[in-house]
Chains A and B, each alone.
Chain A
Amino acid sequence: MAVLATGVLFAQYQKKPPDFGGTYSFPTPEHPEPRAAWVHVLDIVMLAAGLGLAAWLILKRRSRPGVLVLSIGAIAYFGFYRRGCICPIGAIQNVTLSLVDPRYMISAGVIVFFFLPLAAALLFGRVFCGGVCPLGAVQDFVLLRPVRVPRRLDRALSWLPYIYLGLAVWFAGWGLHLKIGALQVQWGRRFLICEWDPFIGLFRISGPFHMLAIGAGFILAGMFIGRPYCRWLCPYGGLLAILARVSWKNVSITPDKELDCGLCADACPYGAIRNLRADRASCLACARCYEYCPRELETRGGPGGGDTLVQVKP
């Protein structure tokens, strides 16, 4: 039967379009063009505006509600609208690959996305983590009951981002080709960070099982541990932490005079307050500590808020 059908088929077979004698006009296949240049510019403008706004809200306005609103904006735009693409964390790999392989084409937008938050970290600390990164914002919102992570464990785990960064750079640029005896490993170049990203599955509302499982795991863990991905895995966070060490401005918990009361250290869910000062490398600029500082509340008009100015003698 199949042979018969194939025979009929070849009898019918046309090598080129038939002549319709003017009764039919050929449709032109449409090829939608990629996003227009202004959309890419919009991404960059949104990033730059987000960084600027985050720096202003955190360092100048000292406003936790402002940071929350900015985070919602970041989740909406960079998360759900741009579907977790384009992101500076993944851009590590694009930049690596374009440095290693000159044939690799890199978009100008990706370069800006990689370097702009780094420059911002040199100026204002990790404001990208605090208000612009949708991955950070998601974890910030799910944090319900932060438990204190032992200091030593925290320090040990904060080496992980650099191991992950090394692996990601190695795999993006070279891949793994090993031969140990009979065991042969052949892994070509791959973008590990994109393959194992915990939250793009959430932003895209779909994804391979391992991604969704890791995402669910991080969200569950993130309810009790402050931002586990940002602190102990994010390779870009590792880069930002290095640069934030020498940042020009950074979070100073008290608006003017330090009290050494320690209330802020209890408030920080990320263990970023060392010796009662915000540690520039690990401060994720969430602005939580301001709300707990007696001096801050005093400058805002009394511990209860409102108009009554309570004078507290330190």
Chain B
Amino acid sequence: MNDKSTRRQFLDRTGRIIGFTAIGSAAGLLARRASGNAVYQVDPFKCTSCDLCRTSCVLSLSAVKAVNDFEKCGYCMLCPAYMDVNSRPDEKGIPAGKVCPQDALKRRVVGAVDQDDPNNNYYEYVVDETRCDGCGKCVKACKPPAGNGSLRLEIRYTRCVECNECAIQIACPDRAIVSVPAPGMAPMESPVEGKKS
């Protein structure tokens, strides 16, 4: 009995040593490849605003939101991302429908306001993140040549729960969800064409 238990103890100890060595070496091997922190972001050059960001995120309201880059926005009165150009125009000839199904793209008149002619005014377009579900319809409509491409989809880290694997990344047909090192800025230049976003 005593002999058996020492044998058992010896086997256990050997097993433990092997286990620790395996864990240690595997962890060491991986640690060299580890980046401090990798996060997910949308690559605007690959993104085709296909609507899967809205449906695939594990959150009920997707962590992907449209973001307007004001440095590029034209501040137009007739914004193709704001108004649905295919909808029926009202009596002034302005399309009555909106592109955003959630009515998340808000605008306010800015600059010197011309009260008489709304066509003469400039508008600031801001995405209401509490409503935006990341469907990307506005992003699609804003793409050149119709728009300036100032709207793009972005993973908002205030909402993203940083899953082991991003569910949108699995679903994305364009492989547009990329892993980038923190602080998780989207690539600003296309790897192919070298043009700026």
Residues of A within 8 A of B (CB): 1-2, 4-6, 8-9, 12-18, 20-21, 23-24, 26-29, 31-35, 37, 40, 82-83, 85-87, 90-91, 93-95, 98-99, 102, 104-111, 115, 118-119, 122, 190-191, 194-195, 200, 204-207, 243, 245-248
Contact = CB atoms under 8 A, between A and B. Distances in A.
B181 to A, nearest CB: 7
B162 interface: yes
A246 B31 CA distance: 26
Given A4-B93, A13-B76, 11 more contacts: A12-B119, A31-B183, A31-B185, A32-B158, A34-B39, A34-B160, A35-B37, A110-B164, A111-B31, A190-B170, A194-B167
A24 B35 CA distance: 41
B161 A108 contact: no
B122 interface: yes
A29 B73 CA distance: 11
Interface residues of B, number: 74
Interface string B71-86: 1111111101001011
A24 B111 contact: yes
B101 interface: no
A194 B69 contact: no
Contacts, number: 195
Contacts of B88: 1
B30 A98 contact: yes
A154 to B, nearest CB: 24
A95 B165 CA distance: 11
A14 B71 CA distance: 12
* A-B CB proximity, top 4 nearest: A246-B15, A14-B74, A90-B164, A105-B38
Interface of B: 11-16, 19-20, 23, 26-27, 29-31, 33-39, 58-60, 67-78, 80, 83, 85-89, 93-95, 110-112, 119, 122, 124, 126, 146, 148, 154, 156-158, 160-165, 167, 170, 179-185
Contacts of A107: 34-38
A29 B157 contact: no
10 contacts: A9-B83, A14-B148, A21-B111, A24-B111, A26-B70, A27-B126, A35-B162, A98-B33, A122-B23, A190-B170
A98 B112 CA distance: 55
Contacts of A17: 70-75
Given A5-B89, A12-B76, A34 B164 contact: no
Nearest to A6: B85
Contacts of A102: 33
Contacts of A4: 89, 93
Nearest to B29: A99
Contact of A9 (B39, B80, B170): B80
B75 A33 contact: no
